[in-house]
């Protein structure tokens, strides 16, 4: 049976392995994960099967001015013009053998419940495009998120600065295209 529970400090080593295997080596450091868990604006969950962690999700609540990326400021300001607080789904990753079973959607559902309880006005998600397919497209559609814009080579500079290997591109730089989705609640 799959259970979803809050992300705890004791989960960091296992979550780091999932990050390295499914997103990219060193995408988040253990120190960054400690900071996420310590920050009251962050919401984190892990998915467990028979008490073994098989996936995780991290989100946070902020204002649009704190989330905004200067390269897409106009699109975001237009979409979120009446929103005061934004729930930002930062990362959801599931280990390879447990993917395509709805586990990411269960984590997302838990985050959405928290967003509702905290009176969030809107949601933003950054997905990546591989060829002509967007990762998590099934989940994005399930939660009725709308495509706002695309950003070519979104993780390029970040991958060079942090020196992480993309699970798609390999060694830096990451050349994946980001696709930004949103929803007004």
What is the per-residue pLDDT for 140? 83
Residues in the chain: 185
pLDDT (average), residues 29-47: 93
pLDDT at 159 over 90: no
Q: Which domains does the chain possess?
A: 2-184 (3.40.630.30)
Peptide bond into 173 cis (omega under 30): yes
What are the pLDDT digits (tens) for 45-90?
999 999 999 999 999 998 877 766 655 667 877 888 888 899 999 9
In Å, what is the CA distance from 140 to each residue of 19, 41, 108?
20, 22, 10
Check if the beta carbon of residue 24 is closer than 8 Å to that of residue 172.
no
Helices (H), the chain: 12-22, 30-38, 64-67, 73-79, 103-117, 137-142, 156-162
Q: Given the structure tokens 């106009």, which residue do they identify? A: 74
Question: For residue 71, what pLDDT is reported?
Answer: 54
pLDDT tens readout for residues 101-154: 999 999 999 999 999 999 999 999 988 887 777 777 788 888 899 999 888 888
pLDDT of residue 6: 96
* Amino acid 108: pLDDT: 94
Q: At what angle do helices 12-22 and 30-38 cross, to 10 degrees?
A: 120
Q: How far is CA 97 from CA 15, 45, 49, 117, 184, in A?
A: 15, 19, 12, 32, 33
Whether pLDDT at 27 is above 60: yes
pLDDT at res. 72: 64
Is 59:127 a contact under the CB 8 Å cutoff?
A: no
Q: What value does the CA radius of gyration of the chain take, rounded to a whole number of Å?
A: 16
Sign of the Cα pseudo-torsion (83, 84, 85, 91, in order): positive
pLDDT at 73: 67
What integer pLDDT is reported at residue 26 of this predicted model? 80
Task: Check if the beta carbon of residue 97 is closer than 8 Å to that of residue 68.
Answer: no
């Amino acid at each position: 049976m799959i259970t979803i529970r809050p992300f705890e400090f004791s989960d960091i080593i296992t979550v780091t392995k999932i990050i390295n295997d499914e997103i990219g080596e060193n995408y988040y450091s253990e120190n960054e994960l400690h900071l996420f868990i310590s920050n009251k604006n962050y919401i984190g969950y892990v998915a467990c099967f028979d008490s073994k962690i098989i996936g995780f999700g991290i989100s946070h609540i902020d204002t649009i001015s704190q989330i905004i990326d200067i390269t897409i400021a106009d699109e975001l300001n237009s979409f979120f013009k009446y929103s005061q607080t934004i729930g930002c789904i930062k990362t959801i990753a599931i280990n390879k053998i447990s993917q395509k079973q709805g586990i990411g959607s269960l984590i997302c559902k838990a985050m959405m419940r928290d967003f509702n309880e905290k009176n969030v006005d809107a949601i933003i998600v950054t997905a990546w495009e591989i060829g002509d397919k967007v990762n998590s497209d099934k989940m994005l559609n399930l939660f009725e998120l709308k495509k706002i814009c695309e950003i070519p080579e979104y993780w390029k500079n970040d991958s060079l600065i942090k020196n992480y290997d993309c699970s798609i591109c390999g060694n830096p730089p990451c050349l994946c295209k980001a696709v930004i989705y949103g929803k007004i609640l």
